[in-house]
Amino acid sequence: MSADNAAVPAAKGRGFRRRLIGRVISDKMDKTVVVEVTRFKMHTMYKKYIRVRKKYKAHDETNEYKSGDRVEIVEHRPLSKEKRWRVAKLLDRRAQE
């Protein structure tokens, strides 16, 4: 029975992790950024697409992401009371003045 378990790759047990793309709106906390994700959702009665925005707190270990950056966040184990995401990669840097 243990031989069957050894054949399963370790990465397969991790499961599916959601990935979202959003914009950093706050970087004032230490090792944490607030990312705003904008989605378009169809209104149930009027059948019109409306913009829905939601804020997620994501882990940023090196404090490298700044306000205005476009980033990809990925689901993670709970890191604090409200933080369940981490920043996976930078997609677009904010234009400097």
Percent of the chain with pLDDT over 90: 79
Radius of gyration in angstroms for the set of CA atoms belonging to the chain, rounded to a whole number: 18
Instruction: State the burial class of residue 8 (Cβ atoms within 10 Å of its Cβ: 0-12, 13-18, 19+).
Output: exposed
The pLDDT of 27-56, averaged and rounded, is 97
Structure tokens at 34: 């607030």
**pLDDT beyond 90 at 82:** yes
Please name the amino acid found at residue 78.
Answer: P
Q: Look at 8-12, 66-70, 89-93 and tell me which has the smallest mean pLDDT.
A: 8-12
Residues counted in the chain: 97
Where does the pLDDT of residue 95 fall: very low under 50, low under 70, confident under 90, or very high at 90 and above?
confident
Contact 84, 76 (CB under 8 A): yes
